Chain A
Amino acid sequence: MPPRRNASPAARAQELLLRLNIRTVPVPVDRIAKSLEAQLRYSPLDEEISGMVYVKDGIPIIGVNSLHHPNRQRFTIAHEIGHLELHRDVISAHVHVDKQFPILMRDSTSALGTELIEIQANQFAAELLIPTAFLDQALGNKRFDIDDETPLDALAKRLRVSKQALEYRIRNFSGA
């Protein structure tokens, strides 16, 4: 099934996981990058820079700030894969540098231009690292108390994501 161009970022992430037959967590973002023939490069960068992506001579290069926490590096890679999958034209024309990802996920309707592609990449990354299928299973039908820290910590650990990212994902988790 070819990727649907107009599908939502989350749906595109699901399709990618399906296509690469990835069903377990933590989701191997580095392997996914390699499957897309992207080169991953780790380098010490300014604190405010999370990463970058650029298609150079047809080869995507994803750069990650090696000084950041490994979980944050995973989010950065997932975010850049999002740009690669969703915004290849933009990142072929210019080196795309991501400074701190503002919490840009909810108001996708009110966003414009550059903000929009960051929101989309964040939505893609959230789904890629914390797939709905996994969340469905982990949370089941039981009511999940977001203020109860313990299960959240354990879940974040299994997913190798920050607790903050997980909390955000669960708040926006519709169960669909």
Chain B
Amino acid sequence: MNPETIYPEIGALIRRRRKKLKLTQEQLAGHLGISRASVANMEIGRQKVLVHQLYALASALQLTPGDLLPSTQRLTAPSEWEALPLPDNLNSQQREQIARLLAGPQTEADRDKDAKNATPPKR
């Protein structure tokens, strides 16, 4: 399994659930005793979620920890990805990213939040 895809997947699950429960990143951060920026970074997969945080997240999001773990099937190139006419000059990680993007939308509101809340990328 590719760590580069696991964390964005988990982050997306967290974000989706948080929004469904109408929680702010601030509120969720409060449950975990971490900063809002950390939650923002977890949601875009830039910060790795620790196991005890996964439990706290699940509890705050009224889920079981297992619910926040992406299924292995989605992470190991499903057949529908194979069918995508992707260019040849992509590595496997990039193929997964593009396939994920094509499979599910992220809205502009999410993007604006990403940009606003995320810490600047390391150069």
- Using a CB–CB cutoff of 8 Å, the interface residues on chain A facing chain B are 30, 39-46, 49, 52, 54, 56, 61, 63-64, 66-67, 70, 73, 93-97, 99
Contact = CB atoms under 8 A, between A and B. Distances in A.
B50 interface: no
B102 A97 contact: no
Interface string B93-122: 110011011100111101100110010010
Contacts of A66: 44, 106, 110-111, 114-115
Interface in B61-95: 84-87, 89-90, 93-94
Interface of B: 8, 44-46, 84-87, 89-90, 93-94, 97-98, 100-102, 105-108, 110-111, 114-115, 118, 121
Contact of B98 (A30, A39, A63): A63
A99 to B, nearest CB: 8
Contacts of B89: 97, 99
Contacts of B108: 30, 40, 42
A94 B85 CA distance: 5
Contacts of A40: 108
Contacts of A67: 44, 114, 118, 121
Given A30-B108, A43-B101, A70 B115 contact: yes
Contacts of B101: 41, 43, 45, 52, 61, 63
B93 A43 contact: no
B87 A45 contact: no
Given A49-B97, A66-B44, A95-B85, A42 B110 contact: yes
Given A44-B8, A44-B46, A94 B87 contact: yes
A46 B106 contact: no
A127 B114 CA distance: 28
B85 A93 contact: yes
Contacts of A96: 87
B106 A43 contact: yes
A81 to B, nearest CB: 15
A38 B94 CA distance: 22
Given A42-B108, A56-B102, A97-B87, A49 B115 contact: no
20 contacts: A39-B105, A41-B101, A42-B106, A43-B97, A43-B106, A46-B97, A49-B94, A52-B98, A52-B101, A56-B102, A61-B101, A63-B101, A66-B110, A66-B114, A67-B118, A70-B115, A73-B111, A95-B87, A97-B94, A99-B89
Contacts of B94: 45-46, 49, 97
